[in-house]
């Protein structure tokens, strides 16, 4: 029962109001479960020491859009499983508090490595480990290397023609690629907490797409082969980080021109009153950014399609015709459900129904 409630609660955490409790979460959760579920939503921002994530909606749209960049050989299989790839686009965020090593895969705090870090850090994981050690890397985030790792794993899954793994890894890879394209995923000032702009993370990646994505151009072109996977992963980080200055500066400039009573409104969301950025503030900010959110959104979808396609090519272009009829069996579904419940269980450290 409690797990169902938690799941329901997590499902309601949309539009970037969810939070990253990193490693200090459990004692807090045991005592303040309901408060956790409600307070961030009421505040419309994340508690201190937490790290918000791309809105669920945007992750799902990006994976779905990427499917339609694929050539027919892949499209048949991916389109058939469009719902799986969409629904599971947010798995990495759901498990990030519960699975060791998951949280750092979503970001990289470039400032910790000095000036021009996005251009100077080692392209490849092994070199980075030699230079900085795994602990340091994990502390500051590893998203550009996680993309490479998942690219290799997905290639292998294609080679093995393992439909279930292809789907799971495609969904995960799509998630990490999308994260790498978010400016605020490349900085330790990830929620404006160091510049008195708390809440900007969810505002940029959730509230803005929520309000304006219906006008975004969904046609991103056909997937193309990417011969330099590592370089492309780093390019995404470089571009996202280059956009960071505008993300923060325009919000600050606009806040100076609009008093708080114009900047924020209270909104009723599923019966929960939330303080959130007003539509007028969002509109003006979105305009100042000059299609930046749309650009990053489209760049993400194109890159996801390119990487899925590249994995398939590197695997020798296996014929997926034999997998066309693949469907998750009841056992697969049960295993996936059990796995998801186990993330939640570890996250909240609560007893299962059977143990009560
Ligand atoms: Zn994420």
331 Cα to the center of ligand 1, angstroms:
28
Residues 6 or more apart from 303 whose CB is under 8 A from it?
177, 181, 232, 236
Please report which confidence band the pLDDT of residue 349 belongs to, taking 50, 70 and 90 as the band edges. Answer: low
106 Cα to the center of ligand 1, angstroms:
5
Please report which confidence band the pLDDT of residue 220 belongs to, taking 50, 70 and 90 as the band edges. Answer: very high
pLDDT digits (tens, 9 = 90+) for 310-345: 999 999 999 998 887 888 777 777 777 777 777 666
169 Cα to the center of ligand 1, angstroms:
14
56 Cα to the center of ligand 1, angstroms:
9
Compare 352 and 251 and report the one with higher pLDDT: 251
Helix (H, G, I), strand (E, B) or coil at 181: coil
Q: How many domains does the chain have?
A: 1
How many beta carbons lie within 10 A of that of residue 1, not counting itself?
A: 7
24 Cα to the center of ligand 1, angstroms:
19
Give me the percent of the chain exceeding a pLDDT of 90: 68
pLDDT, residue 332, reads: 78
pLDDT higher than threshold 80 for residue 63 = yes
182 Cα to the center of ligand 1, angstroms:
10
Q: What is the b/e burial string over 295-306, where b = at least 16 CB atoms within 10 angstroms of the residue's CB?
A: ebbbbbbbbbbb
- Per-chain mean pLDDT for the chain: 84
pLDDT digits (tens, 9 = 90+) for 77-116: 999 999 999 999 999 998 888 888 999 999 999 999 999 9
54 Cα to the center of ligand 1, angstroms:
6
Integer-rounded Cα Rg, in Å, for the chain is 20
Per the structure, the complete domain to which residue 231 belongs is given by 2-355
pLDDT higher than threshold 60 for residue 56 = yes
Structure token pair of residue 130: 């030699």
Specify the CATH number for the domain of residue 335. 1.10.575.10
Please report which confidence band the pLDDT of residue 27 belongs to, taking 50, 70 and 90 as the band edges. Answer: very low
The Cα–Cα gap between 309 and 145 comes to 19
pLDDT, residue 41, reads: 33
Q: Out of 48-62, 208-222, 257-271, which region has the weakest mean confidence (pLDDT)?
A: 48-62
pLDDT digits (tens, 9 = 90+) for 138-153: 999 999 999 999 999 9
pLDDT, residue 347, reads: 55
pLDDT higher than threshold 70 for residue 9 = no
pLDDT, residue 346, reads: 63
Compare 354 and 207 and report the one with higher pLDDT: 207
Compare 291 and 55 and report the one with higher pLDDT: 291
pLDDT, residue 348, reads: 58
179 Cα to the center of ligand 1, angstroms:
5
173 Cα to the center of ligand 1, angstroms:
11
102 Cα to the center of ligand 1, angstroms:
9
325 Cα to the center of ligand 1, angstroms:
31
258 Cα to the center of ligand 1, angstroms:
31
Give me the percent of the chain exceeding a pLDDT of 70: 81
Report which DSSP code applies to 47: P
1 Cα to the center of ligand 1, angstroms:
27
pLDDT digits (tens, 9 = 90+) for 238-254: 999 999 999 999 999 99
41 Cα to the center of ligand 1, angstroms:
19
How many beta carbons lie within 10 A of that of residue 10, not counting itself?
A: 19
218 Cα to the center of ligand 1, angstroms:
22
83 Cα to the center of ligand 1, angstroms:
19
55 Cα to the center of ligand 1, angstroms:
9
138 Cα to the center of ligand 1, angstroms:
15
pLDDT digits (tens, 9 = 90+) for 173-200: 999 999 999 999 999 999 999 999 999 9
26 Cα to the center of ligand 1, angstroms:
20
53 Cα to the center of ligand 1, angstroms:
5
Compare 113 and 51 and report the one with higher pLDDT: 113
Helix (H, G, I), strand (E, B) or coil at 202: helix
Mean pLDDT across the stretch 269-283? 91
Structure token pair of residue 152: 């290799």
135 Cα to the center of ligand 1, angstroms:
20
pLDDT, residue 35, reads: 31
pLDDT higher than threshold 70 for residue 281 = yes
132 Cα to the center of ligand 1, angstroms:
23
């Amino acid at each position: 029962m409690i797990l169902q409630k938690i799941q329901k609660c997590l499902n309601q955490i949309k539009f970037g109001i969810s939070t990253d409790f990193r490693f200090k979460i459990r004692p807090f959760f045991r005592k303040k479960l309901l408060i956790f579920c409600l307070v961030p939503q009421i505040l419309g921002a994340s508690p201190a020491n937490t790290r918000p994530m791309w809105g669920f909606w945007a992750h799902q749209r990006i994976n779905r859009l990427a499917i339609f960049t694929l050539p027919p050989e892949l499209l048949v299989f991916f389109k058939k499983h469009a719902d799986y790839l969409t629904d599971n686009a947010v798995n990495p965020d759901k498990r990030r508090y519960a699975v060791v090593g998951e949280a750092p895969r979503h970001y990289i705090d470039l400032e910790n490595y000095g000036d021009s870090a996005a251009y100077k850090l080692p392209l490849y994981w092994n070199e980075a480990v030699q230079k900085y050690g795994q602990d340091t890397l994990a502390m500051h985030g590893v998203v550009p290397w996680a993309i490479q790792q998942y690219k290799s794993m997905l290639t292998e899954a294609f080679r093995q023609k393992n439909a279930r793994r292809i789907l799971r890894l495609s969904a995960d890879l799509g998630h990490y690629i999308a994260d790498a394209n978010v400016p605020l995923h490349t900085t330790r000032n990830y929620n404006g907490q160091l510049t008195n702009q708390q809440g900007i993370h969810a505002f940029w990646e959730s509230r803005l797409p929520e309000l304006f994505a219906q006008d975004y151009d969904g046609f991103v072109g056909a997937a193309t082969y990417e011969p330099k996977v590592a370089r492309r992963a780093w390019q995404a980080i470089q571009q996202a980080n280059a956009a960071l200055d505008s993300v923060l500066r325009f919000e600050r400039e606009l806040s100076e021109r609009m008093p708080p009573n114009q900047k924020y409104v209270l909104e009723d969301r599923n019966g929960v009153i939330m303080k959130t950025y007003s539509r007028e503030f969002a509109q003006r900010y979105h305009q100042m950014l000059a299609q930046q959110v749309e650009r990053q959104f489209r760049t993400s979808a194109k890159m996801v399609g390119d990487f899925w396609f590249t994995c398939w090519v590197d695997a020798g272009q296996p014929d997926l015709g034999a997998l066309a009829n693949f469907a998750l069996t009841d056992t697969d579904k049960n295993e996936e459900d059990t796995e998801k419940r186990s993330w939640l269980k570890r996250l909240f450290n609560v007893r299962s129904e059977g143990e009560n």
